[in-house]
Amino acid sequence: MAFESIQHRIGDYRLELIWIDCQSDPQKASTAYQEAVIRHKIDSGMLNWHSSVAVAVMEVAARYKVPHFFAMGAAATINEKYHSDPKYGYWMAKGWPVPSKLTFAYVQAIEDAIQKGIWKPAHRSAAIWGEDTDWGRSLGSGFRDQLRAASWTIAAEEYFRISETDHYPLLRKFKDTGVSLLAGTSTAPASISAFVKQAREVGLTSLIIADGLGWVGEWYSLVGNASDRVLDQIPDWTTPKAKQFAADFEKRWGLKPSPSAAGLSYDYANFFIEIAKETLRRYGRIDRETLYRVGRDEVMTGNLTYNGGLVMKEYKYLPETAPDPLIGEGHFMFPVVQYQSGHGRIIWPAIWKVAELQPPS
């Protein structure tokens, strides 16, 4: 949709999109990406979802010197690899920061509610759960460290296959520990929706953080009222421009778009278009080498930013945040929401809050 808005043209160039199916598999993704480089001769890559895939494909981008922008694989392993060797600088401008930069919001929202006497957990004990991927473990470690720093006890920490949909044994184990909080994530809609529904079925009364539940626009049809009082981090369509995009998207594709997936992808596609325009202006040509130069010298230094997106006010990168975007109000920041009847109400931060946290029933 972003490229159609410019008729796929920048100057005398026609931009052709080559779709790469990662199949949620690092090896298959690497093979498909290499085919795109060799057979289709792509000049740049853009976007992605899974962290494990990103770690693997970084090798291909580095080998062929293909600048890749705004990959949303977020795990800390990606940052570690990025900083381990300059060649991994081709995997630039991550579209999603490391999970630990965002998990603090959940912990702060919970602690605020406890301090106000809104929630009085029977025990300050938590269980960490998630898919057994770089993403799931990275987010889990963020929760673990930050909850412990807030004087919580971690009674259990368990990870499962990304395709797992039978969570009953794990949830019964969590119930037996008597934990007051379950905190975790999965990027697979079938897995995370099954986790939330089955948690209710086994009688767990813990407060549940299910990071990423709302990443699929049709999430409520998968979970139903089992999602009531679950916490998530997700933006909303707040501006007239964003609401119009969401309406246009649904009309065209027959799906409700998620701001975290469709919205960010649209914004990042438009940011890439600005990068390509700047590349042509500076160098008179658009190719791997010149796109990389603009990414390295302008985007990653904070000189070239993108304003007026659907989801965030400004997308900006700095040497001290690289390869992550700048976090904070006005930049990359997700509110903490609590679901009720299929709608999320913001409970943190205070500047956006429309409701107080509701304790688990």
Helix, strand or coil, per DSSP, at residue 360:
coil
Residue 305: DSSP 8-state? -
Could you tell me if 118 and 359 are in contact, meaning their C-beta atoms sit under 8 angstroms apart?
yes
CA–CA dist 85, 319 (Å, integer): 15
Residue for token pair 């107080």: 356
Q: Which CATH number fits domain 100-234+334-348: 3.40.50.2300, 2.20.28.120, 3.40.47.10, 3.20.20.60?
A: 3.40.50.2300
Please choose, from the candidates 318, 331, 106, 326, the residue with its C-alpha nearest in 3D space to the C-alpha of residue 210: 106
State the pLDDT confidence band at 243, using cuts at 50, 70 and 90.
very high
Please choose, from the candidates 106, 114, 174, the residue with its C-alpha nearest in 3D space to the C-alpha of residue 145: 106
Mean of pLDDT values over 142-167? 97
Outline which parts of the chain fall under CATH 3.40.50.2300: 4-98+239-315, 100-234+334-348
Residue for token pair 């697979």: 188
pLDDT score at 74: 94
State the pLDDT confidence band at 3, using cuts at 50, 70 and 90.
very high
pLDDT score at 216: 86
- Model confidence pLDDT, tens digit, residues 220-234: 999 999 999 999 999
Instruction: Report whether pLDDT(295) > 90.
Output: yes
Q: What is the pTM of this model?
A: 0.87
Could you tell me if 157 and 182 are in contact, meaning their C-beta atoms sit under 8 angstroms apart?
no
- Model confidence pLDDT, tens digit, residues 322-340: 999 999 888 998 999 999 9
State the pLDDT confidence band at 59, using cuts at 50, 70 and 90.
very high
pLDDT score at 278: 98
Dihedral of the alpha carbons of 279, 21, 193, 348, in degrees to the nearest 10: -10
Could you tell me if 67 and 45 are in contact, meaning their C-beta atoms sit under 8 angstroms apart?
yes
With a CB cutoff of 8 Å and minimum separation 6, the contacts of 301 are 317, 318, 319
User: Which strands, in side-by-side order, build the sheet including 336-340?
Assistant: 153-160, 125-131, 181-185, 207-211, 231-233, 336-340, 343-348
Question: With left for phi above 0 and alpha for psi between -120 and 50, is residue 70 left, alpha or beta?
Answer: left
pLDDT score at 361: 80
CA–CA dist 26, 95 (Å, integer): 18
Q: In the CATH scheme, what is the code of domain 4-98+239-315? A: 3.40.50.2300
Instruction: Report whether pLDDT(217) > 90.
Output: no
- Model confidence pLDDT, tens digit, residues 117-128: 999 999 999 999
Helix, strand or coil, per DSSP, at residue 314:
strand
Count of residues making up the chain: 361
